[in-house]
Amino acid sequence: MKKNMGTVDKVIRILLAVVFAALYFTNVVTGSWGIVLLILGAVFLLTSFVSFCPLYAPFGLSTCKVKTTEEK
């Protein structure tokens, strides 16, 4: 698994996961939609921690910062 997520992408996903959890646990979103948000939040957290998004891979997308030859 090659990393394909940059720092900004990871931070956004973590923030969204926190918001989704807050919406669920404060009963703003309940029922099936609440469960869907919790699952989506969990996926966002997992992908953030491993720095890999499986949906980016088939399309060759990456939000990682490109290293120049001087930085390597």
Contact 45, 13 (CB under 8 A): yes
Q: Which two tokens mark 37? A: 């948000």
Task: Report pLDDT for 2.
Answer: 87
Task: Report pLDDT for 1.
Answer: 79
Reading the chain (72 residues) residue by residue, the pLDDT tens digits are 789 999 999 999 999 999 999 999 999 999 999 999 999 999 999 999 999 999 998 999 999 987 756 655
Q: Which of 15, 70, 65, 69 is nearest to 45 (CA)?
A: 15
Task: Report pLDDT for 66.
Answer: 74
Contact 32, 12 (CB under 8 A): no
Task: Report pLDDT for 16.
Answer: 97
